[in-house]
Amino acid sequence: MLKKLIYDELLHANENLNTIEARFYEVTNHLIEAEMDLEFKKAELINSSMMNKDNEDQQGAQLMLHLKGEYMQCKKLGIELNALKANYNSAQRTFDMWKKMMESQ
């Protein structure tokens, strides 16, 4: 009976671990995409300031706002990524604990 309970908890912990791991990689990919977009927008800002001096202020201001938004998105994803890492580590410890209990039964 106890062995069955431990086994069920072990499976549940493993499912949680897999879910967190999948979300971790999803957020990592979003972060990479956001960072690439940020770099592209930086290059766009530099190009616009070199090519068209008349519209430089307006375009520069628009791009700076966009860059600021992208930067905030990167920060948000970084925070979410750190939270997922913490959740993953916690789930891994729980999984390891249940696994040891299962093996000792």
What does the pLDDT look like over 66-88, one tens digit per residue? Answer: 777 877 877 788 888 888 888 88
Q: How many domains does the chain have?
A: 1
> What residues make up the domain containing 92?
2-99
Evaluate whether 105 touches 41 at the Cβ level (below 8 Å).
Answer: no
| Per-residue pLDDT, 56 | 61
Residues ≥6 apart with Cβ < 8 Å to 17: 88, 91, 92, 95
**pLDDT at res. 19:** 84
Give pLDDT tens digits for 25-51. Answer: 888 888 888 888 878 877 777 776 666
Q: What pLDDT was estimated at residue 86?
A: 85
More confident position, 51 or 17: 17
Whether 105 is covered by a domain: the verdict is no
Mean pLDDT score of the chain, rounded to an integer? 78
Residue 104 lies in a domain: no
Residue 33, domain member (yes or no): yes
